[in-house]
Amino acid sequence: MDLGKDLVAASATPLVLAILTEGDSYGYAIIKRVTELSGGHLQWTDGMLYPVLHRLERQGLVAAKWGISDTGRRRRYYRITKDGREQLAAQREQWRVVDETLHAIWMKAQMA
Amino acid sequence: MTAFSDHLPLEEQIAQWRGFLRRRRAIHGADVDELEGHLRDQVAVLTAAGLAGDEAFLVAVKRMGSLDALSREFAREHSERLWKQLVIAPETAVEAPLARRSEVVVVIALAAVAAMAIKLPSLFGVVIDGDGEMFYPRNLSLFVLPVLTGYFAWKRGLTAARSVALALTFAAAAVFANVFPFVPGSHTEVLTALHLPIALWLAVGVAYAGGHWFAAGARMDFVRFSGELFIYYVLIALGGGVLTAFTILMFQAIGINVEWLTGQWIIPCGAMGAVIVASWLVEAKQSVVENMAPVLTRLFTPLFTVVLLVFLATMTWTGNPIRVEREVLIAFDVLLALVVGLVLYSASARDPQAAPDLFDALQLLLVIAALVVDGVALAAIAARISEFGFTPNRMAALGENLILLANLAWTAWLYAQFLRGDRPFDELERWQTGYLPVYSVWAALVVIVFPLVFGYA
């Protein structure tokens, strides 16, 4: 099952922010985590993650700095900021409302 | 779509992929590094899972997404990058930031030198704008052009021998500008003031081309540089005008007259320093922004053509002859110089391989119209030239007219051949760039020979 483009785009922000609450991370590891968590259902085109990360950085929701990977290469690490956590909480609430609404109507449809 | 060659070692394939990314304007160097790191992580995981190097590479690239889509996404997030930042974003250059910073320091120092040089004669009591004193007009180019030449000699790493030759040229120019016992305010003196910069511009060109002045491409680059420099200089001058007016007004408000400051310091020093700064800007932005000069050429070639054709038609219709007055030759010199400039700058932006198009035909029409107008004017003047006698002014104007006329006549011929498909455009370009030294040599003749011939009158 592939998710529609709009849904992927809409879910990208909360997903990235939520993964970063687990600890600082970098692009490739974030993608891997998304695939893991979704059981492979959520497949991002890898490159598209970076513009998203840069947008979050510009909005001050994440902070980034260059570090060195285990193999000695330069790597950009991202960390969620305080604003990012607040934004994540707000989005979580919004998604809960959407989820509950859909859930309610689908349950009703099932019962009918 | 970009294709990746097979059979390349992994490192080369990655380098190639980096190359493709780098060409995207919306993706900057640091982004490329970040994306490359991602690609390498992916490749490492895939090879660990048993894929061969090139297979792993292909899969990793595929997962990264198409370059078009990727650069579109980057452009959406970083739209400011599509507006090339001139001074602030240093990503165009691969050169080290240190070299860049040292260049800025050199430029500021040279601009200060040029700005101070113009005030140097004040120490000896020569005043800018002094009554009837022609010292400054005569020597104006000698304050800034040597500095500009020095900048390019430094930037291009000119050999010592060539640098010395250029320095000697300027020294000789300084001698010719100052040893002749001109009659104060004489025509020959004004002619020297007008022609010395044209002659010395060639020396700047030699330094600009790093001494390789005889390469046709280098000359064309210098033509482009000159055009862009002019545009930048005008822009800076506009800003300088605002600054000057503002300064005067502000101090007027508290009852202090600062015209001595603006007239004696801000304007002359700024005008000199601006030449260096504008040159540096042109150098720095070379590949960054689309050149303006060719755009202006495209805009004005049709307009000038229309004006000339209407002028010709009106002259024929009304039968009004050209009134041969003192300034008429100069007006026609300016006309020819403008047309040569239009031809030169449209050639500078033209793809020499492209087939002739409507614009080329228009250009030929412009050249022919200019030739006809100038021919009529010359005929009118020639008929009465003996009445006037040969004054230095008239001699100089006539010489320039003939030089430009010869250029345009051959240009028209080459253009016609090119439009018929008999000759490549390249020949026209080489004709124009090859002709450039003629202007400077003529200007040098005016500076060196005219005062002697006409007895400093």
Q: The domain spanning residue A65 has which CATH number?
A: 1.10.10.10
Select the more confidently predicted residue: B168 or B321: B168
Mean pLDDT of B160-179: 92
Mean pLDDT of B178-201: 88
B163 in Cβ contact with B203 (< 8 Å): no
Question: Is it the case that residue B450 has pLDDT exceeding 50?
Answer: yes
Mean pLDDT of B319-334: 78
The confidence score (pLDDT) of residue B445 equals: 93
**Angle formed by the axes of helices B425-448 and B187-208, to 10°?**
140
Scanning B209-265, the segments in alpha helix (DSSP H) are 216-253, 259-261
A&B contacts, CB < 8 Å: 56
Provide the residue range defining the domain that includes A84: 5-111
Question: Structure tokens of B35?
Answer: 């994306």
For B272-322, what is each residue's pLDDT tens digit? Answer: 999 999 999 888 876 555 677 788 888 999 999 999 999 999 988 998 777
**CA-to-CA distance for B110 and B87, rounded, in angstroms?**
18
User: Which residue in B347, B397, B342 sits closest to B369, CA to CA?
Assistant: B342
Cβ A45–B64 below 8 Å, yes or no? yes
Question: Is it the case that residue A6 has pLDDT exceeding 70?
Answer: yes
Q: What is the CA radius of gyration of chain A?
A: 16
pLDDT, mean over chain A: 89
User: Residue B83: pLDDT band by 50, 70, 90 thresholds?
Assistant: low
Q: How many residues does chain A have?
A: 112
pLDDT, mean over chain B: 85
The confidence score (pLDDT) of residue B207 equals: 93
Selecting from B33, B44, B63 the residue whose C-beta is nearest the C-beta of A46 gives B63
B36, B38, B63: best to mutate for the A interface, most A CBs within 10 A: B38
Question: Is it the case that residue B95 has pLDDT exceeding 80?
Answer: no
Select the more confidently predicted residue: B306 or B78: B306
User: Residue B129: pLDDT band by 50, 70, 90 thresholds?
Assistant: low
Number of domains in chain A: 1
**CA-to-CA distance for B136 and B126, rounded, in angstroms?**
9
Closest approach of A98 to chain B, Cα-based (Å): 27
CA A98 to mean position of chain CA atoms: 17
Cβ B34–A45 below 8 Å, yes or no? no
Residues of chain A with a CB closer than 8 angstroms to some CB in chain B: 26-28, 31, 45-48, 50-51, 54-55, 58, 69, 71, 73-76
User: Residue B2: pLDDT band by 50, 70, 90 thresholds?
Assistant: very low
Closest approach of A6 to chain B, Cα-based (Å): 14
Question: Is it the case that residue B93 has pLDDT exceeding 60?
Answer: no
The confidence score (pLDDT) of residue A5 equals: 79
Closest approach of A38 to chain B, Cα-based (Å): 17
> Residue B26 to residues A57, B204, B369: CA-CA distances in angstroms?
17, 36, 46
User: Which residue in B442, B408, B440, B429 sits closest to B215, CA to CA?
Assistant: B429
Mean pLDDT of B221-249: 92
The confidence score (pLDDT) of residue B214 equals: 75
Question: Structure tokens of A27?
Answer: 């692009």
Share of chain B above pLDDT 70, in %: 89
Question: Is it the case that residue B84 has pLDDT exceeding 80?
Answer: no
Cβ A73–B37 below 8 Å, yes or no? yes
The confidence score (pLDDT) of residue B290 equals: 60
- Interface predicted TM-score of the whole assembly (ipTM), two decimals: 0.85
Question: Is it the case that residue B433 has pLDDT exceeding 70?
Answer: yes
User: Which residue in B203, B202, B143, B193 sits closest to B168, CA to CA?
Assistant: B203
B196 in Cβ contact with B442 (< 8 Å): no
Residue in chain A nearest B35 by alpha carbon: A47
Question: Is it the case that residue B79 has pLDDT exceeding 80?
Answer: no
User: Which residue in B201, B215, B137 sits closest to B169, CA to CA?
Assistant: B201
The confidence score (pLDDT) of residue B94 equals: 45
Question: Is it the case that residue A39 has pLDDT exceeding 90?
Answer: no
Q: Locate the domains of chain B by residue range.
A: 10-82, 100-285, 293-453
**CA-to-CA distance for B457 and B450, rounded, in angstroms?**
9
**CA-to-CA distance for B147 and B157, rounded, in angstroms?**
15
The separation between the first and the last C-alpha atoms of chain A, rounded to the nearest angstrom, is: 27
Element holding A2 (H helix, E strand): none
B359 in Cβ contact with B300 (< 8 Å): no
Question: Is it the case that residue B88 has pLDDT exceeding 50?
Answer: no
Q: DSSP label at A26?
A: E
**CA-to-CA distance for B80 and B90, rounded, in angstroms?**
14
Question: Is it the case that residue B17 has pLDDT exceeding 90?
Answer: no
Q: Residue B66 phi/psi, 5° resolution?
A: -70, 150
**CA-to-CA distance for B414 and B339, rounded, in angstroms?**
15
A90-99, B99-108, B424-433, range with the lowest pLDDT: B99-108
Cβ A76–B65 below 8 Å, yes or no? no
Cβ B70–A48 below 8 Å, yes or no? yes
Helices (H) and strands (E) in chain A, counts: 4, 3
Question: Is it the case that residue B92 has pLDDT exceeding 70?
Answer: no
**CA-to-CA distance for A29 and A22, rounded, in angstroms?**
12
Residue in chain B nearest A48 by alpha carbon: B70
The confidence score (pLDDT) of residue A21 equals: 94
Question: Structure tokens of A20?
Answer: 């970063």
Q: What angle do CA A35, A38, A43 make, to 5 degrees?
A: 45
The confidence score (pLDDT) of residue B270 equals: 93
Question: Is it the case that residue B128 has pLDDT exceeding 70?
Answer: no
Question: Is it the case that residue B446 has pLDDT exceeding 80?
Answer: yes
Closest approach of A86 to chain B, Cα-based (Å): 22
Q: DSSP label at B127?
A: P
**CA-to-CA distance for B431 and B423, rounded, in angstroms?**
12
User: Which residue in B25, B31, B157 sits closest to B92, CA to CA?
Assistant: B25
